[in-house]
Amino acid sequence: MKFSSLSRHPLKRHYGQGDLHFITFSCYQRKPLLGTPETRDTFVEILDEVRCRHAFALFGYVVMPEHVHLVVSKPEKKTPSKALQVLKQNVAKSLLTVTQRPAFFAFSSPSEDARTDQHFWHRRFYDFNVWSEQNFTRS
């Protein structure tokens, strides 16, 4: 059976309209990889670095043990997708080394095959455009 690209990736991203973006993304297999103060602090530090580098406004964030919510403006440089890609890559690079520490395994079973230890984030993310009243009345 042949699938169209639309059926494989039903999420549509709408950029360039001046909207804010409510973004949600999860840790790999919904594991609580952000379940310690150390990992959450590292995430927030890297979020701030990426925010500065890609020049977007951060209106709010929630870091849960297994997922993250962000409300951001469109970055001046590139797209929200690109900024999120950089954020996820930098957090994974920094925190995957933390997974080797014994305290981390309180949240993740060390007996799982080594392949899963090389993933930090679920591949996809959810992006919902937050409409301002001004944008809504222009439509």
Query: Domain range holding 29?
Result: 19-131
Phi, psi of 20 (to 5 degrees): -85, 160
In angstroms, the CA 89 to CA 99 distance is 15
Output the pTM of the full model.
0.72
Average of per-residue pLDDT across 76-99: 89
C-beta separation of 135 from 73 below 8 A = no
If phi over 0 gives left and psi between -120 and 50 gives alpha, with beta otherwise, what is residue 20? beta
Residue 95 lies in a domain: yes
Residue 111 lies in a domain: yes
**Cα distances (Å, whole numbers) of residue 31 to 66, 119, 128, 132:** 5, 11, 23, 34
Residue 45 lies in a domain: yes
The pLDDT of residue 104: 52
pLDDT in tens, 25-73: 999 999 999 999 999 999 999 999 999 999 999 999 999 999 999 999 9
Residue 8 lies in a domain: no
Q: How many domains does the chain have?
A: 1
Residue 23 lies in a domain: yes
Average of per-residue pLDDT across 85-103: 80
**In 3-state terms, the chain is what percent helix, strand and coil (to 5)?**
45, 20, 40
Residue 10 lies in a domain: no
Residue 138 lies in a domain: no
CATH of the domain at 100: 3.30.70.1290
- Mean confidence (pLDDT) of the chain: 78
H or E stretch covering 60: strand 58-63
